[in-house]
């Protein structure tokens, strides 16, 4: 009998092994440093890799969610992979970082104990986080983003699959 060939997955179904920085002027892609991308984290939620990359307004640093204490946390690093610092220590984890326009704060989605996920703002100078939302229902994604002048944050809320965007007005 003739052996049957092993099926090859379609290229669109194969995830890349590394994350990249894309230069919009040249189209050149550069792999992010191993110190940022790291190894797989086998947690209670399955494999977890760094996600939610957000470049600082001046383009020199990267905020991202990666394995830390108490699950995924927000880290900040220089683009070359040096100066890595875990900046959140939320009991249930933190993800979806977004820089303020002046680069002094990071909005993120976080968990505190058994509460549903909420929106927080971290002051990078002091390390203090301020909770901005107090919903009794989980946010379906959160995805906070600062307005260009930094006076408001927009985020996704609502029922799963029926998210709406809502503004939060500062100061933060």
160-168 average pLDDT score = 53
Is residue 34 within 8 A of residue 24, CB to CB? The reply is: no
pLDDT digits (tens, 9 = 90+) for 17-49: 678 888 889 999 988 888 888 754 444 444 556
* pLDDT bracket for residue 126 (50, 70, 90): very high
Task: Match 């001046």 to its residue by tokens.
Answer: 58
In this structure, the number of other CB atoms found within 10 A of the CB of residue 88 comes to: 25
pLDDT value at 13 more than 50: no
The DSSP line for 99-121 is E-TTSSEEEEEE--TTSPPEEEE
Task: Match 């906070």 to its residue by tokens.
Answer: 144
pLDDT digits (tens, 9 = 90+) for 65-104: 988 887 889 999 999 999 999 999 988 889 999 999 999 9
Predicted TM-score (pTM) of the model is 0.78
Nearest-5° Cα angle at 96, 95 to 97: 100
Longest dimension (CA), the chain: 74
The helix/strand count (H/E) of the chain reads as 1, 15
Q: What is the DSSP letter of 15?
A: P
Q: How much is the pLDDT for 115?
A: 77
In whole angstroms, give the CA distance from residue 77 to residue 27.
23
């Amino acid at each position: 009998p003739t052996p049957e060939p092993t099926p090859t997955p379609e290229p669109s179904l194969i995830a890349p092994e590394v994350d990249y920085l894309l230069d919009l002027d040249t189209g050149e892609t550069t792999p992010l440093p191993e110190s940022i991308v790291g190894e797989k984290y086998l947690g209670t939620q399955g494999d977890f890799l760094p996600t939610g990359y957000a470049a600082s307004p001046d383009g020199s640093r990267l905020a991202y969610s990666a394995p830390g204490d108490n699950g995924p946390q927000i880290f900040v690093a220089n683009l070359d992979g040096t100066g890595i610092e875990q900046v959140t220590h939320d009991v249930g984890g933190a993800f979806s970082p977004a820089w303020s326009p002046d680069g002094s704060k990071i909005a993120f989605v976080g968990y505190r104990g058994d509460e549903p996920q909420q929106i927080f703002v971290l002051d990078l100078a002091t390390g203090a986080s301020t909770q901005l939302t107090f919903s009794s229902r989980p946010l379906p994604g959160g995805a906070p983003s600062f307005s260009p002048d930094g006076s408001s944050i927009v985020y996704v809320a609502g029922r799963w699959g029926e998210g709406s965007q809502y503004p939060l007005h500062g100061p933060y």
